[in-house]
Structures are given as structure tokens and as C-alpha cells.
């Protein structure tokens, strides 16, 4: 009789533990869902989503979770085990979540033919070793993110967070700026387009990514590309760098499947 009673207590404890675990998972999923929602309907502060005012009035957040529960979970949110963390990876605290999101982005979307690569700044004002500043962006200070997106819909298909300069042994020594930026950009473009070989896509980008080496590497993967040119880059023909053109005239030079073109409307543009 005592043995059966002990078994019943043990079973009840196990069932209680399972129920508590499931309840915790549901609350965490609700918390993550609210975070995604807050990224779409942006308020100046997170707590404003629970305000009852004519200016800030979110109908979703109060019905899903109380403000107290949300900020309690938010304060203890953790995605990595510090005891087994790779401290050389500056993103180790969110690396698993980052990779999971990237896999989901790519699984549930079919890309159009035209793609684009660019960088953006995610606004952040806290303390971080790899904060960046780009004056031309709407958010000038924050976390720099390289993005591969669908050019027609803007859907983010792949992305990479810039965490600082990387060392490369084989480096083209065109100038100091090239030494610092070109290998990082080449590696970034190759990583973003890693699983798009032989699918017929065309990638568009600005002059920051228009290196002859990048064109050649993408061509080997059967990925087309088009972008504006910086005429100071190595490998650009002299006829393209300083052409003598009249209005609406153009000149081009071709090497295999790579073509450079200069066109003059009011000023000379290079592609």
C-alpha cells in the first residue's frame, strides 16, 4: 500500500513538473511573439505598448501578457550557456537564435530573380564593442548588418552582423582602405550568397561591393550581378575611368562575361 502511494506521489510530481515546463515554454513563446510585434509597431519605449491613451494604444500586448510578466521574462531572457560558450564569438549569447531565424527566413520564402545586398544600421545606444557609425543612414549609430534581400519585396533572406575587422593572410594591397575593407566585403558577399549557386539570380549592389574579384567569384557560382563602379578600383579599364563622352553617349569594355560601361547623362556614370 505504501509503495503504491509513493508511486502516485511520484507520478503527480512528474506531471506537475511537465505542466510547469509547458507553461513556461508557452509564456516564453508569447514573449518572443510580442517582441516581433513590437518591431513592427514601434513605440518610443517598450512600456508604451501597455498605455491606455489616444496617442499610444496597443490592443494586442495587454491581451497577451501583463506588463509585469513581460518585463520579468525580458530581464532573464538568455539563449546561451556561459559555461560552454565560445568567447571568441562576439555574438555567442544570441548565435543559436540568430542561426535559427536565418534558417526559418530561408525555409519559408521563394526568392524572385532580382536580389540586392546592402548594409543597414540597427539603432543601439548601449555599450557594445562593435558599434558602428554610417552618417548616410537614417540611424547613424548602432549595429551594422549586411543584408541579402529580395529586390522586389524587401524580404530579408540572409544577413550577417558585422562584429569588427577580420584578419586575412592573402590581401590585395591596393591601398590602405582596400586592405581593410575589400577582404571583409568579399567574404561577406560570398557568405550571403552561399546557397544560391546555379539558381539564376541577379544580385544588385552599390559601389561599396563592386570589386572585380566579387564579380568573378559570383560568375563562377552562376550568379549574375550589376552595380555602380568606383573608378579608382583596380582592374577598371582606362576608357571607363576617364572617357571622353558627349551627352547620352556610352562606352563599354568586356572581358569574358564581365562588362564595364560608362554612360553620360549630365555626369558620367559607371556600371
Q: Where are the domains of the chain?
A: 2-77
DSSP label at residue 235: T
What integer is the mean pLDDT of 252-266? 80
pLDDT digits (tens, 9 = 90+) for 200-253: 999 999 888 888 889 889 999 999 999 888 877 877 777 777 777 777 777 888
**Burial classification of residue 193, based on how many CB atoms lie within 10 Å of its CB (0-12 exposed, 13-18 middle, 19 or more buried):** buried
Q: Across the strands, what pairs with 123?
A: 142
Q: Evaluate the CA torsion angle 94, 97, 100, 102 in order and state its sign.
A: negative
Find which of 42-46, 84-88, 237-241, 250-254 is predicted with most confidence, using mean pLDDT.
Answer: 42-46
The answer to whether 96 and 80 have CB atoms below 8 angstroms apart is yes
Helix extents (H) in the chain: 2-40, 61-64, 67-75, 95-107, 176-192, 212-220, 238-241
Q: pTM higher than 0.85, yes or no?
A: no
How many angstroms separate the CA atoms of 20 and 32, rounded?
18
Amino acid at each position: 500500500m505504501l509503495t503504491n502511494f509513493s508511486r502516485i506521489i511520484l507520478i503527480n510530481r512528474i506531471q506537475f513538473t511537465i505542466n510547469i515546463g509547458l507553461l513556461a515554454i508557452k509564456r516564453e513563446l508569447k514573449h518572443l511573439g510580442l517582441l516581433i510585434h513590437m518591431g513592427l509597431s514601434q513605440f518610443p519605449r517598450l512600456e508604451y505598448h501597455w498605455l491606455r491613451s489616444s496617442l499610444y494604444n496597443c490592443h494586442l500586448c495587454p491581451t497577451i501578457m501583463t506588463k509585469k510578466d513581460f518585463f520579468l521574462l525580458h530581464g532573464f531572457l538568455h539563449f546561451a550557456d556561459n559555461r560552454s560558450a565560445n568567447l571568441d564569438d562576439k555574438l555567442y549569447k544570441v548565435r543559436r537564435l540568430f542561426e535559427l531565424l536565418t534558417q526559418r527566413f530561408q525555409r519559408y520564402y521563394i526568392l524572385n530573380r532580382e536580389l540586392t545586398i546592402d548594409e543597414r544600421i540597427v539603432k543601439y545606444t548601449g555599450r557594445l564593442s562593435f558599434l558602428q557609425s554610417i552618417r548616410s543612414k537614417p540611424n547613424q549609430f548602432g549595429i551594422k548588418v549586411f543584408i541579402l534581400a529580395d529586390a522586389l519585396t524587401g524580404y530579408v533572406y540572409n544577413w550577417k552582423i558585422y562584429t569588427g575587422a577580420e584578419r586575412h593572410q592573402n590581401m590585395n594591397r591596393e591601398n590602405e582602405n582596400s586592405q581593410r575593407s575589400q577582404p571583409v566585403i568579399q567574404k561577406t558577399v560570398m557568405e550571403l550568397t552561399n546557397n544560391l549557386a546555379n539558381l539564376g539570380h541577379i544580385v544588385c549592389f552599390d559601389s561599396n561591393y563592386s570589386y572585380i574579384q566579387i564579380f568573378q567569384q559570383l560568375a563562377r557560382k552562376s550568379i549574375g550581378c550589376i552595380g555602380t563602379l568606383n573608378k579608382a578600383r583596380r582592374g577598371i579599364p582606362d576608357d571607363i575611368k576617364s572617357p571622353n563622352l558627349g551627352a547620352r553617349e556610352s562606352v563599354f569594355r568586356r572581358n569574358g562575361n564581365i562588362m564595364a560601361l560608362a554612360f553620360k547623362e549630365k555626369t558620367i556614370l559607371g556600371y
